[in-house]
A = this chain, B = another copy of it.
Amino acid sequence: MAQSMSDIFLSFQQYLETEQDLREEIRVVVRELEQTARGILTILQGIHQPDGLSKIPELCQKSKAAFANVKNQFQVLKSKVPENQYYRFHDHWRFVSQRLVFLAALTTYLESETLIQREEVAAMLGVCVDHNKGFHIDLDDYLSGLLMLADELSRFAVNSVTSGDYSWPLKISRFVTEMNLGFRLLNLKNDMLRKKFDALKYDLKKVEEVVYDLSIRGLKPSGDAQPPTDA
């Protein structure tokens, strides 16, 4: 039996090596995705610059162009991972997916002042939303990305005032308020996500303080800010 037992274990070793090689290939593609995501973030950081507001349309165009690379890299990733093993390796690309949701959501918000839908993110990444069908954007990852967006928008509210624009803070305030109400509808079981959600209230407070500073100084634009949202 000795011979055959060592044969059995040798076959396991082949199996383990194959898996380790696959993980290594996945890691390489994920690193490239991370590289692209860093590039997109650098583009969008331009909004915080003194002349950033006038460049928003241009920055969004550049961001969307870079998402074409993301799509290609996700295709490569999909080609590596068998469809029904998505969750086996999910941890490898979970974090970069959340970042990409954030970057897509920021781009969409800057362009249209709307919340990106999960389907829209999926389209930008070239994946689907249905967790029964291989590569997709998990709801948890989508929500994590939205919370990163709120953090970035609170910073943008501050910097847009510095750049002399007083309308963004009001728009952002309404948007983050609604997002906060939305999140409060959810019974979050995922501890990681719940912890990130706890930070949302600080983002909201920050934005509200900016609006307050504008109000108290009579700098609040009256036009589009007044019609209160019936949330």
Interface of A with B (CB < 8 Å)?
A: 1-3, 5-6, 8-10, 12-13, 15-17, 20, 31, 34-35, 38, 41-42, 45-46, 48-51, 82-88, 90, 114-115, 117, 131-134, 139, 143, 155, 158-159, 161-162, 164, 177-189, 205, 208-217, 219-220, 225-226, 228-231
Contacts and interface: CB of A to CB of B under 8 A. Distances in A.
B228 A177 contact: no
A6 B208 contact: no
A223 to B, nearest CB: 13
Nearest to A51: B228
A179 to B, nearest CB: 7
Contacts of A211: 162
A10 B181 CA distance: 11
Contacts of A6: 178, 181-182, 185, 231
Contacts of A208: 48, 155, 158-159, 162
A4 to B, nearest CB: 8
A38 B17 CA distance: 16
B231 A49 contact: yes
A45 B182 CA distance: 12
Contacts of A133: 84
A114 B1 contact: yes
